[in-house]
Amino acid sequence: MDRVRIAYRDNDRTPMIFCIQAVAQRHYGIDVEVIQIRDESAFEASIFDGTADVLIEHTEYLLAEAVSGKKVTMFCAPVVRTGLVLVVPPEVTDVAQLHGKRVAVRFPGRPTATLLRIRHLGLTGLVEPVIVPDAEVGRWMQWKRVVSGEYIGAFLTGDFLPAALAAGLHVLPVEDIPNVGLYAQACTSEYARANDDLMRRYVSAVIHAACLMKLRPAEAIEIARGEPARRLMHEGDPARRLQPEDEAAEMERRVRLTADLLQIKPYPSPAGIANAYEIAVEEWPGGKGINPLTLWDLHWVKQLDDEGFIDNLAASMETTPA
């Protein structure tokens, strides 16, 4: 059986990653080895130093790597928006109520994505975005500063939304922006060139996993309650550990949350590529000036799409969500 080694950093991504692993082995003759690399520098080096074949999750830095002469191939974009939600106090029901107030912006991560959201809402100059590091409040817990009254709002990922809601905040519905979001993937161009058939099958598995999460959530939830639950709920911060009955419900929530973000035809959008470029060159200035389209190779996705593989797969899996 062929092998593909996937590098990732954040255990929040594991429900999708392990669905890819499961369908790749069952249907496409691929043994997907899932490798967590927590150190950012080591993660970013992984496809260049031989540690991994494919990386998933964080690809913006690759524009700067390409400018430096490294040959990189980005090949699928299962999520085409930021996926962040805006939480505010209960009395705030309209964007206009944010005027003249401060908005908490998470760091690390990609704070520029939040600044683009603020700009898209027409709030540039009308609100004061302030960096609030995780080191001060906890990972994705900038909402604490909203509860305290110091800030009027904070953007956060849905993974961490329940705690903010439990503290009395609510989601203010605002339009998202196009982006090359979560689960974007890349490899070296040399690897892609040398493994064309393997990459086609691997991309098939990624698409199949997205279909599984969206159309057969019960099967995806069963996968998520295995190794993803162990990594999410039993590693790291003890405060995140749940009782078994709560753990099962949380893994189901994670799968459904991810499924809502996914598209089964993983083409990036032009506007998403443009926004991802703006984020990249702001946070990794070495990428400035490159045409980001030169990194993209969508021929595997397009072949599968043109042949009817994606539509036929979705039709064969379609079911009424539980």
Confidence of residue 243 (pLDDT cuts 50, 70, 90): low
Nearest Cα neighbor of 273 from 55, 47, 52, 62 is 62
Rounded average pLDDT over 126-139: 97
Residues of the chain with CATH 3.40.190.10: 2-80+180-317, 84-171
Q: What is the mean pLDDT of the chain?
A: 95
* pLDDT(289) > 80: yes
Rounded average pLDDT over 213-217: 97
Q: Give the pLDDT score at 246.
A: 83
Confidence of residue 236 (pLDDT cuts 50, 70, 90): low
Q: Give the pLDDT score at 234.
A: 75
Give the phi and the psi of residue 275 in degrees, each rounded to 5: -65, -40
Q: Give the pLDDT score at 244.
A: 63
Q: Give the pLDDT score at 48.
A: 98
Which pLDDT tens digit goes with each residue over 83-94?
999 999 999 999
Give Cα separations from 78 to 2, 118, 227 (angstroms).
23, 24, 22
Which pLDDT tens digit goes with each residue over 261-277?
999 999 999 999 999 99
Rounded average pLDDT over 305-317: 97
Which pLDDT tens digit goes with each residue over 144-180?
999 999 999 999 999 999 999 999 999 999 999 999 9
CATH architecture of 2-80+180-317: 3-Layer(aba) Sandwich (3.40)
Confidence of residue 322 (pLDDT cuts 50, 70, 90): very low
Q: Give the pLDDT score at 237.
A: 53
Which pLDDT tens digit goes with each residue over 1-42?
999 999 999 999 999 999 999 999 999 999 999 999 999 999
Rounded average pLDDT over 39-66: 97
Q: Give the pLDDT score at 57.
A: 87
Instruction: Give percent of the chain above pLDDT 90.
Output: 92
Rounded average pLDDT over 245-263: 93
pTM: 0.95
> What CATH code would you report for 84-171?
3.40.190.10
Rounded average pLDDT over 74-80: 98
